[in-house]
């Protein structure tokens, strides 16, 4: 039998608890040996439900354990660069939730430590593992419908996260659009320039910390294609996830996946099923698949499917979008080059 990879999860809140559950129930290639949260009671509740024996408050304890090969980081975003650096220095392979960081310097320092340590790093861009987006990627990249010309991404959440979450998540572009920036790169390639506009139309409380809840980003790609990303924190009809790429000889489109395909007819016409409520439902299989592939990369010593550089470029695009908002102008991605 092939060996299992010993892994630990750091941060067992909303996203971390999903990864813990998947590791225990759906990823037999992994052996989840411990979980950690600074709120010990949160981790303990997850451990009790899944019969996990080892629960710690301080992640350094896990990093000191030579039997643990890999860690999955699902802590609050501002802690990512520090935990990545500590984990890499301890020789652990790393799966880190998006975004890698909220700041370029911190992120580059962490990536340098990862490189020096020679450990693997995968970033949690779950949408790359969706079967529809993967099929579009194959079609567009094979050239069978010509060259890509226009990309449209519509990505709207059903409701805003809590104020507590919003306060330190990096704001719209680094927390939410970051997924769409990665999707744009995955489908079309590198972005050359972007221009962002936005407003606060839903949650006035976020004005105090300079966030936005309604945004459109236009993109110019290095290969000449252009695109838009349309984001809202509130689509009351459900989690709206659509994409279209117009190419010189055709188009590829992903529509929303309703909970069922039932159409109910009555005197008011036909009614279709609801959209999935949020990311947990829409992307449930992707969260399993991304971590399963990470574990297999560690086990078989293969490169990870979403690299540190992918994570870095998405953050750079997020920072460029904030710069575009502040300076009210198109921003070249080369403005973020390291000289």
Ligand X SMILES: NC(=O)c1ccc[n+]([C@@H]2O[C@H](COP(=O)([O-])OP(=O)(O)OC[C@H]3O[C@@H](n4cnc5c(N)ncnc54)[C@H](O)[C@@H]3O)[C@@H](O)[C@H]2O)c1
Binding site for ligand X (CB under 6 A): 10-16, 36-39, 42, 59, 74-77, 79, 97-98, 124, 126, 175, 279
Report the residue number, 10 or 111, with the smaller CB distance to ligand X.
10
d(CA 182, CA 185): 5
Report the residue number, 177 or 221, with the smaller CB distance to ligand X.
177
Report the residue number, 77 or 324, with the smaller CB distance to ligand X.
77
Report the residue number, 225 or 316, with the smaller CB distance to ligand X.
316
The residues facing 332 across adjacent strands are 193
Residue 273, φ and ψ in degrees, nearest 5: -70, 160
d(CA 216, CA 74): 28
- Are 134 and 283 within 8 A, CB to CB? no
Supply the minimum distance, in Å, between the C-beta of residue 231 and ligand X.
14
What Cα–Cα distance (Å) separates residue 179 from each residue in 109, 183, 211?
22, 6, 17
Report the residue number, 14 or 329, with the smaller CB distance to ligand X.
14
Report the residue number, 119 or 286, with the smaller CB distance to ligand X.
286
* E strand spans, 108-208: 121-123, 148-156, 191-199
d(CA 111, CA 47): 31
Supply the minimum distance, in Å, between the C-beta of residue 223 and ligand X.
27
Supply the minimum distance, in Å, between the C-beta of residue 325 and ligand X.
20
Other C-beta atoms closer than 10 Å to the C-beta of 293 total 20
Supply the minimum distance, in Å, between the C-beta of residue 304 and ligand X.
15
- Are 217 and 228 within 8 A, CB to CB? yes
Residue 13, φ and ψ in degrees, nearest 5: -80, -140
Report the residue number, 86 or 193, with the smaller CB distance to ligand X.
86
- Eight-state DSSP code of residue 301: T
- Eight-state DSSP code of residue 126: G
Supply the minimum distance, in Å, between the C-beta of residue 17 and ligand X.
8
Residue nearest to ligand X (CB): 13
Helix axes 104-117, 308-327, angle to 10 degrees: 170
Supply the minimum distance, in Å, between the C-beta of residue 174 and ligand X.
9
d(CA 275, CA 257): 7
Supply the minimum distance, in Å, between the C-beta of residue 48 and ligand X.
15
């Amino acid at each position: 039998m092939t060996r299992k990879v010993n892994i630990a999860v750091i941060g067992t809140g909303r996203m971390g608890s999903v990864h813990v559950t998947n590791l225990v129930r759906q990823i037999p290639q992994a052996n989840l040996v411990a979980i950690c949260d600074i709120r010990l009671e949160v981790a303990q509740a997850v451990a009790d439900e899944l019969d996990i024996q080892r629960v710690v408050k301080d992640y350094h304890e896990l990093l000191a354990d030579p039997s643990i090969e890999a860690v999955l980081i699902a802590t609050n975003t501002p802690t990512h660069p520090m935990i990545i650096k500590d984990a890499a220095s301890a020789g652990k392979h790393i799966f880190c939730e998006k975004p890698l960081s909220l700041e370029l310097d911190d992120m580059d320092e962490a990536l340098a430590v990862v490189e020096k340590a020679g450990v693997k790093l995968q970033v949690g861009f779950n949408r790359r593992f969706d079967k529809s987006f993967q099929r579009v990627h194959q079609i567009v990249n094979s050239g069978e419908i010509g060259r890509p010309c226009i990309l449209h991404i519509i990505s709207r959440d059903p409701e805003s996260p809590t104020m507590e979450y919003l306060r330190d998540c990096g704001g719209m572009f680094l927390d939410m659009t970051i997924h769409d920036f990665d999707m744009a790169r995955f489908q079309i390639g590198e972005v050359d320039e972007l221009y962002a506009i936005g407003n606060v139309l839903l949650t006035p409380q976020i004005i105090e910390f300079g966030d936005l809840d309604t945004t459109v980003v236009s993109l110019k790609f290095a290969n000449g294609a252009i695109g838009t990303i349309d984001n809202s924190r509130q689509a009351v009809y459900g989690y709206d996830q659509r994409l279209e790429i117009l190419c010189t000889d055709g188009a590829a489109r992903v529509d929303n996946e309703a909970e069922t395909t039932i159409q109910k007819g009555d005197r008011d016409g036909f009614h279709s099923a609801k959209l999935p409520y949020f990311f947990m439902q829409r992307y449930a299989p992707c969260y399993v698949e991304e971590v399963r592939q990470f574990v297999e990369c560690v086990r078989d010593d293969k490169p990870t499917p979403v690299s540190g550089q992918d994570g870095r470029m998405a953050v750079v695009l997020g920072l460029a979008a904030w710069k575009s908002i502040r300076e009210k102008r198109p921003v070249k991605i080369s403005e973020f080059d390291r000289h």
